[in-house]
Amino acid sequence: MNTEIEAWHFLPSDRRLMYEPHTFVYPGVTLKTEQPPVLCECGFHASRRLIDALYYAPGPMLCRVKIGGKIIEDYDKLVGTERTVLWMANADEMLFQFAQFQALSIIDKWDAPEVVKQFLKTGNPLLRSAAWSAASSAIESTAWSAAWNAARSAARSAARITAWSAADSAAWSAAWSAAESAASSAIKSAAWSAAWNAARSAASSAAKNAANEQLERMAWMLCGPETAQFPIA
């Protein structure tokens, strides 16, 4: 179909396309292809939801885009023959804050080492290495593995007998997933990668929707049309 859809997209820090000829992307300039769009193969991609775009992110340059021409859409992404960046900004700091928030929201669900707590609360880069080592040791320990498995099983059982609402069950499941992945990912990875690992832990629809709402609020504050680092001239 032919229409226009506003969506989210990420670029590497150098603002160039990942494929030949590695075109430098300027806000306001429409990129076009004459080839029919094919998901994951040909055309210009984006996602309606920011949390979905984050899954495919090759780097931290967050773009609000308009997809046009002929468009094909899947459940978490779409591709068209045209893409225009409306505005963009480096989302490194925003995404790291998102990862921190995700990890801190479940810090009481596991016996986090003190250095991990301090790193997540302060973001002090001097604590990164020590925090990652401590988190890895805690997660890999026999005691932690047992606690993790028991908690996950309990969450499933509670959901099956409808002891909790769907949203509460989803939040609990997401919290325990985050305890295993979000905190450690935030510590060891680049900011954008850590943010996705944190977001990915929200496996259920309800939890993922909530995470997306938070992430998009942060994005609009960071790079709305009036505050974007690279708006259309």
DSSP letter string over 153-178? HHHHHHHHTT-S-HHHHHHHHHHHHH
Mean pLDDT by 10-residue block, N- to C-terminus, for the chain (233 residues)? 86 92 94 95 96 88 96 95 94 84 75 82 83 70 50 40 35 44 51 62 67 90 63 51
The neighbour count for residue 77, using CB atoms within 10 Å, is 20
Amino acid at 112: A
Question: Would you kindly state where each structural domain of the chain is located, as residue ranges?
Answer: 5-90, 93-202
Which positions ≥6 away from 56 have C-beta within 8 Å?
A: 10, 45, 47, 77
pLDDT score recorded for residue 199: 62
Q: What residues does 83 pair with on adjacent strands? A: 31, 67
Res 123: pLDDT? 81
Predicted TM-score of the model (pTM): 0.72
